Structure 1
Amino acid sequence: MTQTVTRWWLVRHAPVVGAHGRIYGQDDLDCDCSDAALFAELAILLPTEPVWLVTPLRRTHATADAIHLASGGMKPEIAIEPDLAEQHFGDWQGLTYADLEARRDGVYHRFWHAPADHAPPNGESFRDVIARVSRAIDRHTRQHPGRDIVAVTHGGAIRAALAVALELDPERALGFSIDTCSITRIDRIDGAGEGASWRIVAVNRHPQNLAR
């Protein structure tokens, strides 16, 4: 039976700088791409001729650029996919957790009782993130069947992708640890007469994470 395997390589961006303990979500902050050895190892682990995706946030662009620089090859065409962006925390972006604790409207406490379903004011819930990440995965899998797709994205989006692949309750998907500069690999398997299924190849693979 012929099968088509589309391989998703989900890379979390490099460490954010300038957050100073504040919730940043979709705030467009810089990241630290100074560890050349780390990016050289990432370049070795990733496929050589994939489809490249980043989000509208510049920390994913900078991370992709650092990987390409480390590989020594020409920079490929990169598409921007907004549906793979980090969770939007609405009015909470730019605030510290202490700021939220001090509020008396009760919204923050309700959020942490059910973080997958409650959205910050003018923001989105994690369940919302899963819905849009699922759309992006389905769309690009249809557009690039049988290809390697490298998406430089965010921790929340990667957890959402795992929720899609494993059909997890959103609350359980929040339990995944996703380090910066780590690789999570999920394969979409389509076969005639068999529908579609997912294979989880790696989660949070990082050159240093086993030593942490």
Structure 2
Amino acid sequence: MEIYLVRHTTPCIEKGICYGQSDLDLDNDYYKEFENITQQIPQNKLYNVISSPLKRCSLLAYHLSSFPEFDNRLKELHFGDWELKAWHNIAEEELNPWMQDFVNVSPPNGESYLELASRVSAFFEDLKQIQTAKDIIIVTHAGVIRAYLSKFLGIELEQSFKIKMDYGAVFQLKKENGTLNLVTPLNLKG
């Protein structure tokens, strides 16, 4: 069995804007990015495609399958009151505690990275119970993939942002002899 973790393609939003669960459109060249992703996943197989329901993931999920499944646990971090605000417009007294401990501290009316990691962990525990002969493609967000890889590789959540992940990144995991292994080499920055 193979699992492909796929980060959505480039969203259509200005740099410097905080977004997590905001439902954004994709950049105008998204079809080129879709083709790049398609080339990284073998096309001679059938897949179960499971996706975040947010548009920047669901469009890719429908490109990969006529009948994708959607799971809210695959949504990006919820930034609460900060959603769609410019980072430089967020009050320092709100932002600084989060910057110092983003794992445990949540934005106002949002969620912490630990809460995201908990729902992601529950999703992957449920995924283990699925009985299928098909390989699986999961279309989701950087925070979700980092949280999963953090647990999978035994990396502290604080360190998971060292995992370099461009838009449209694909990570392949393969189960052999009952053990799931990461096939894609990780690029750990700084």
For the aligned pair, the TM-score class normalised by the smaller chain equals 0.7 to 0.9
Q: 2:124 aligns with which of 137, 147, 155?
A: 137
Q: Which SS does the other structure have where 1:150 is aligned?
A: strand
**For residues 22 and 44 of structure 1, what CA distance do their matches in structure 2 show?**
31
Deviations 1:57-108 (A, max 9, x none): 0111112334x4xxxxxx43110011111000111111111111xx25x231
**For residues 132 and 158 of structure 1, what CA distance do their matches in structure 2 show?**
12
Question: Gapped runs of 5+ residues in structure 2?
Answer: none
**For residues 35 and 94 of structure 1, what CA distance do their matches in structure 2 show?**
21
The change in CA–CA distance for 1:28 and 1:201 in structure 2 (over 3 A counts) is: same
Percent of aligned pairs with the same amino acid = 26
**For residues 164 and 138 of structure 1, what CA distance do their matches in structure 2 show?**
12
TM-fit CA distance, 1:155: 0.7
| Amino acid of the structure 1 residue aligned with 2:53 | P
Q: Which SS does the other structure have where 2:129 is aligned?
A: helix
The change in CA–CA distance for 1:33 and 1:13 in structure 2 (over 3 A counts) is: farther
Question: What is the match of residue 57 of structure 1?
Answer: 54
TM-score by length of 1: 0.78
Question: Gapped runs of 5+ residues in structure 1?
Answer: 1-5, 69-74, 192-196, 206-212
Alignment of 1:72-91 (within 5 A): 75-91=65-81
Alignment of 1:1-212 (within 5 A): 6-19=1-14, 21-32=16-27, 34=29, 36-47=31-42, 48-66=45-63, 68=64, 75-100=65-90, 103=91, 106-144=93-131, 147-187=134-174, 191=178, 197-202=179-184
TM-fit CA distance, 1:111: 0.8
**For residues 46 and 137 of structure 2, what CA distance do their matches in structure 1 show?**
10
Contact 1:177/1:204 (<8 A) preserved: yes
Contact 2:80/2:111 (<8 A) preserved: yes
**For residues 145 and 166 of structure 1, what CA distance do their matches in structure 2 show?**
25
Structure 1 or 2: more strand by fraction = 1
Q: How many residues are treated as equivalent by the alignment?
A: 185
TM-fit CA distance, 1:10: 0.8
RMSD: 2.3
The change in CA–CA distance for 1:176 and 1:40 in structure 2 (over 3 A counts) is: same
**For residues 9 and 133 of structure 2, what CA distance do their matches in structure 1 show?**
28
Q: Which SS does the other structure have where 1:185 is aligned?
A: strand
TM-score by length of 2: 0.86
The change in CA–CA distance for 1:120 and 1:36 in structure 2 (over 3 A counts) is: closer
